[in-house]
Amino acid sequence: MTTVHSHDIRVLLCNHCGAPLDAPTTGGTATCSYCGAANVVTVRDERAELAAAQSGPQLDEAVRFDRLRNQASAPMEPPASLRSYLVAGKLPHQYVDHALAEWRQTRDEVQAGGDYPSQERLYFLAVLLAGSFLRQRDEQRRRGVIESTLELLPSARHRQMLRGMLSRDAARAGDLQAAEDWLAPIEPYSDDIYVDSSYRISKAYLATVRGDWDQVVGLLGSSPEERPVAVTLADLAAVLRANAIERQGNVAAAAASLRAAGVDESTANEVRSDHDGLAFCPKSVAAPHSQEPRKDTSLGAYVFFLGLPGGLAVTAYLFPEARLPLLAIAGGALSLVAIVIILYFVVLPGPTRVGGKGLDGVAHVLDVRRMKVRVDGDRLVDVRCRVFLDDREPYEAQFKAAASEDEISRLESGASVAVKVHPDRPERVAHVKGS
Judge if 80 and 127 occupy the same domain.
yes
Q: Are 363 and 387 in contact (CB under 8 A)?
A: yes
Is 36 among the domain residues?
A: no
| Tens-place pLDDT, residues 47-59 | 999 999 999 898 9
Is 19 among the domain residues?
A: no
Is 135 among the domain residues?
A: yes
Judge if 377 and 331 occupy the same domain.
no
Judge if 208 and 312 occupy the same domain.
no
Q: Are 428 and 349 in contact (CB under 8 A)?
A: yes
pTM over 0.95: no
Is 31 among the domain residues?
A: no
Judge if 264 and 138 occupy the same domain.
yes
Judge if 245 and 335 occupy the same domain.
no
DSSP 8-state secondary structure symbol assigned to residue 87 = B
Judge if 363 and 324 occupy the same domain.
no
Judge if 231 and 138 occupy the same domain.
yes
pLDDT of residue 278: 86
pLDDT of residue 277: 78
309, 328, 347 - which closes a domain: 347
What phi and psi values does residue 39 have, to the nearest 5 degrees? -110, 120
Domains held by the chain: number: 3
| pLDDT exceeds 60 at position 104 | yes
Is 414 among the domain residues?
A: yes
Judge if 396 and 247 occupy the same domain.
no
What number is the average pLDDT over the span 127-144? Answer: 95
| pLDDT exceeds 60 at position 99 | yes
What phi and psi values does residue 345 have, to the nearest 5 degrees? -100, -20
| pLDDT exceeds 50 at position 349 | no
Is 409 among the domain residues?
A: yes
What number is the average pLDDT over the span 150-169? Answer: 97
Alpha-carbon separation of residue 86 from 71, 91, 131, 211, 249 (angstroms):
25, 5, 12, 35, 39
pLDDT of residue 192: 96
Judge if 230 and 118 occupy the same domain.
yes
Is 373 among the domain residues?
A: yes
Q: Are 238 and 198 in contact (CB under 8 A)?
A: no
Report the DSSP beta bridge partners of residue 428: 398
Full domain range(s) for residue 206: 57-274
316, 347, 378 - which closes a domain: 347
Q: Where are the alpha helices (DSSP H) in 221-297?
A: 234-247, 251-260, 265-274
DSSP 8-state secondary structure symbol assigned to residue 233 = G
Q: Tell me the CATH number at 186.
A: 1.25.40
CA pair distance 13, 385, nearest whole angstrom: 33
Judge if 368 and 221 occupy the same domain.
no
DSSP 8-state secondary structure symbol assigned to residue 428 = B
Is 21 among the domain residues?
A: no
pLDDT of residue 110: 96
DSSP 8-state secondary structure symbol assigned to residue 284 = T
Judge if 108 and 249 occupy the same domain.
yes
Nearest to 181 by CA among 194, 170, 193, 196: 170
CA pair distance 30, 21, nearest whole angstrom: 7
Judge if 253 and 162 occupy the same domain.
yes
